Structure 1
Amino acid sequence: MKQRTLLITLTGPDRPGVTSRLFTVLASFPVNVSDVEQVVIRGRLILGVLVTYAGGPPTGTGGTLGAMWAAVERAADDLGMEVELTTGSDLKEKRRRGRLHVTVLGNPLEPAAMAGIAGRIAAAGANIDRIERLSRLPVTCIELAISGADPAALRTALTAEAVLQQVDVAVQRSGLHRRAKRLVVMDVDSTLIQGEVIELLAAHAGCVDEVEKITTAAMRGELDFAASLHERVALLEGLDESVFERVRQEVVLTPGARTLVRTLKRLDYRFAIVSGGFTQITDSLVTELGIDYSAANTLEVVGGKLTGRVVGDIVDRPGKARALERFAQQAGIPISQTVAIGDGANDLDMIAAAGLGIAFNAKPVLRQAADAAVNVPYLDAILYLLGISRDEVEAADAEDGLTHLTLGTPTE
Structure 2
Amino acid sequence: MWPTYRVEAPRRYLGPVEQNVTSPGRTLRVLVFGADRPGVTAALFGVIDRHAGGGGGLVVADVEQIVLRGRLVLGVLLTAPADWDETALRLELHRWGVDWKLDVEVKAGVGDNQPRRAGRSRVTVLGHPLTPAALGRMAEEVAGAGGNIDRIVRLAKYPVTAIELDVSGIDPLVLRNLLAPAAAACGADVAVQRAGLARRAKHLIVMDVDSTLIQDEVIELLAAHAGCLQQVASVTERAMRGELDFAASLTERVALLEGLPEEVFTKVREEVRYTPGARTLVRTLKRLGFQVGIVSGGFTQITDLLAADLGLDYAAANTLEVVDGRLTGRVVGAIVDRPGKAAALRGFAEAAGVPLSETVAIGDGANDLDMLAAAGIGVAFNAKPVVRAQADTAVNVPFLDTILFLLGIPGDEIAELTEEAGESR
Q: TM-score, with normalisation over the residues of structure 1?
A: 0.93
Match of 2:206 among 185, 190, 194: 185
CA distance in 1, matches of 2:236, 2:24: 71
Contact 1:2 1:54 in 2 (8 A): no
The CA deviation at 1:56 is 6.3
Contact 2:24 2:111 in 1 (8 A): no
Give the equivalent residue in structure 1 for 2:101.
80
CA distance in 1, matches of 2:274, 2:162: 23
Task: Give the secondary structure class of the aligned counterpart of 2:139.
Answer: helix
Q: Which runs of 5+ in 2 are unaligned?
A: 1-22, 53-57
CA distance in 2, matches of 1:20, 1:227: 70
Pair 1:333 & 2:354 matched: yes
The CA deviation at 1:87 is 2.5
Give the equivalent residue in structure 1 for 2:71.
44
Task: Give the secondary structure class of the aligned counterpart of 1:322.
Answer: helix
Q: CA RMSD in A?
A: 1.5
Q: Which runs of 5+ in 1 are unaligned?
A: 58-63, 406-411
Give the equivalent residue in structure 1 for 2:247.
226
Pair 1:209 & 2:230 matched: yes
CA distance in 1, matches of 2:312, 2:27: 53
The CA deviation at 1:45 is 1.4
% identity of equivalent residues: 61
Give the equivalent residue in structure 2 for 1:16.
38
Give the equivalent residue in structure 2 for 1:26.
48
Contact 1:318 1:350 in 2 (8 A): yes
Contact 1:298 1:312 in 2 (8 A): yes
Give the equivalent residue in structure 2 for 1:380.
401
CA distance in 1, matches of 2:326, 2:198: 49
The CA deviation at 1:38 is 1.2
Task: Give the secondary structure class of the aligned counterpart of 1:194.
Answer: coil
Give the equivalent residue in structure 1 for 2:138.
117
Task: Give the secondary structure class of the aligned counterpart of 2:50.
Answer: coil
The CA deviation at 1:75 is 3.0
Contact 2:172 2:192 in 1 (8 A): yes
Task: Give the secondary structure class of the aligned counterpart of 1:215.
Answer: helix
The CA deviation at 1:94 is 1.8
Match of 2:90 among 39, 49, 69: 69
Give the equivalent residue in structure 2 for 1:283.
304
CA distance in 1, matches of 2:216, 2:414: 27
Contact 2:303 2:317 in 1 (8 A): yes
More off after superposition, 26-35 vs 369-378: 26-35
Give the equivalent residue in structure 1 for 2:3.
none
Give the equivalent residue in structure 2 for 1:152.
173
Q: Which amino acid counterpart does residue 197 of structure 1 have in structure 2?
A: V
The correspondence of residues 215-364 of structure 1 with structure 2, limited to 5 A, is: 215-364=236-385
CA distance in 2, matches of 1:253, 1:154: 34
The correspondence of residues 389-404 of structure 1 with structure 2, limited to 5 A, is: 389-398=410-419, 400-402=420-422
Give the equivalent residue in structure 2 for 1:60.
none
Task: Give the secondary structure class of the aligned counterpart of 1:16.
Answer: coil
Contact 1:170 1:373 in 2 (8 A): yes
Q: How many residues align?
A: 398
Q: Which amino acid counterpart does residue 152 of structure 2 have in structure 1?
A: I
Contact 2:24 2:112 in 1 (8 A): no
More off after superposition, 342-351 vs 1-10: 1-10
Deviations 1:343-381 (A, max 9, x none): 000001101111111110011111111111100110010
CA distance in 1, matches of 2:24, 2:126: 46
CA distance in 1, matches of 2:163, 2:50: 39
Task: Give the secondary structure class of the aligned counterpart of 1:227.
Answer: helix
The CA deviation at 1:2 is 7.2
Q: Which amino acid counterpart does residue 223 of structure 2 have in structure 1?
A: A
The CA deviation at 1:89 is 2.0
The CA deviation at 1:109 is 0.7
The CA deviation at 1:261 is 0.7
Give the equivalent residue in structure 2 for 1:371.
392
- Cα distance change, pair 95–283 in 1 and its aligned pair in 2 (3 A): same
CA distance in 2, matches of 1:334, 1:153: 24
The CA deviation at 1:101 is 0.6
Contact 2:51 2:89 in 1 (8 A): yes
Contact 1:2 1:55 in 2 (8 A): no
Contact 2:235 2:253 in 1 (8 A): yes
- Cα distance change, pair 2–357 in 1 and its aligned pair in 2 (3 A): closer
Contact 1:240 1:304 in 2 (8 A): yes
The CA deviation at 1:15 is 2.1
